[in-house]
Every structure is written in structure tokens, then in C-alpha cells.
């Protein structure tokens, strides 16, 4: 991420100082900004794993997703930084889908081979981890945020896996 807005610089600074993370959410362009409805309810808690100051004065921050959460409420601070009260989402498990991951794992490997910039983002790919594979597909697919949110709100990954398998086949 390239950070330039003071509210986000503050967010990163506070997270690093406290050795905590922060949430990243998708934006709903149709949502009411004044009522914070422009933020989709499912997000990813991330931790800063690297940062540096770029030549143009912007802050470059590398984060790693830790787990998903659901927003219960949002308040807006004076600098317009949004602070959410959240609860952890149920974590998806691979037990029910290990044998169902093919062919989407092979197609994802092909995409990583074709686009080396993905290897920079994910230096330790986990193609044998069905949940990791499903999340990478949800990041990459050009489907709208509402569709992605519907998958993320599920208690398990079966619907997302079924959709991805049909798409890839």
C-alpha cells in the first residue's frame, strides 16, 4: 500500500507502535458515506510486515492478512479515520475441501507463473492449502465486491469453491 493521507499515516504509526494491526475493507460506491454504509461489512485484519519511505515522500507499507472480521458498527474520527467495532468471522477450514481443490489450484499456479508480480505479493505461495487458494482467487477475480462479500460471509468456503470450480472448468 502507498500511504499519503494523514489519517492512514496515523493508523499505520499507531499499529506499529502498539504491535497490533488494523482492518482493511472493500468500499461500496453506492453506500452512504455519512452513515459509513460505504464500507462493506466483511474485512481483513492485517499486520504491518514491512514499511519504508519512498522517494516521492509517500509511505510504502506491506501488510499480511491475518483473519477475517465482520463490522458491527463504525465511528468516524475528526480526521475521518473510520474505527470499527468488529467480531471475528468463523475461520474456513480445509478439511471438507482438500479433495475438491483441483483444478483451481493448478490454474492459480499457471496465473502465478504468467504474472511474476503476483509472486512478489505472495513470496511463499501455498498452492497445497485450499483456503489460501480460494482467497487468492477471490482477490484476483474481476467480480464485484458484493459477490465477494457474499462468499466471505459464509460459514464455510463450499459456495466459493463451487463458484470457482465452475468458473475455471
Range of the domain at 149: 98-168
Q: At which residue does the C-alpha cell 474481476 appear? A: 142
Residue 93 in domain:
no
Chosen domain end from 88, 112, 127: 88
pLDDT of residue 167: 87
Strands 59-76 and 39-53, sheet pairing: antiparallel
pTM of this prediction? 0.86
H-assigned helices in 55-129: 104-114, 116-121
Three-class secondary structure of residue 93 per DSSP: coil
Q: Residues 64, 122: one domain? A: no
Give 99-133 pLDDT, tens digit per residue.
688 889 999 999 999 998 998 888 889 998 899 99
Number of domains present in the structure of the chain: 2
Chosen domain end from 61, 88, 115: 88
CATH code: domain of residue 62: 2.30.130.40
pLDDT reading at 69 higher than 90? yes
CATH code: domain of residue 104: 1.20.58
Residue 155 in domain:
yes
Amino acid at each position: 500500500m502507498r500511504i499519503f493521507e494523514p489519517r492512514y499515516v496515523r493508523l499505520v504509526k499507531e499499529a506499529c507502535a502498539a504491535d497490533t494491526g488494523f482492518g482493511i475493507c472493500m468500499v461500496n460506491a453506492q453506500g452512504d458515506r455519512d452513515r459509513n454504509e460505504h464500507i462493506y461489512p466483511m474485512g481483513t485484519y492485517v499486520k504491518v510486515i514491512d514499511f519504508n519511505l519512498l522517494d516521492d515522500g509517500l509511505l510504502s507499507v506491506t501488510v499480511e492478512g491475518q483473519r477475517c472480521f465482520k463490522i458491527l458498527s463504525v465511528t468516524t474520527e475528526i480526521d475521518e479515520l473510520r474505527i470499527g467495532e468488529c467480531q471475528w468471522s468463523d475461520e474456513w477450514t480445509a478439511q471438507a475441501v482438500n479433495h475438491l481443490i483441483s483444478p483451481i489450484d493448478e490454474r492459480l499456479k499457471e496465473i502465478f507463473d504468467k504474472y511474476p508480480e503476483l509472486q512478489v505479493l505472495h513470496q511463499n505461495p501455498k498452492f497445497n492449502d485450499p483456503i489460501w487458494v480460494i482467497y487468492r482467487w477471490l482477490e484476483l477475480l474481476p467480480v464485484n465486491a458484493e459477490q465477494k462479500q457474499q462468499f466471505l460471509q459464509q460459514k464455510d468456503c463450499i459456495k466459493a469453491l463451487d463458484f470457482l470450480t465452475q468458473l475455471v472448468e
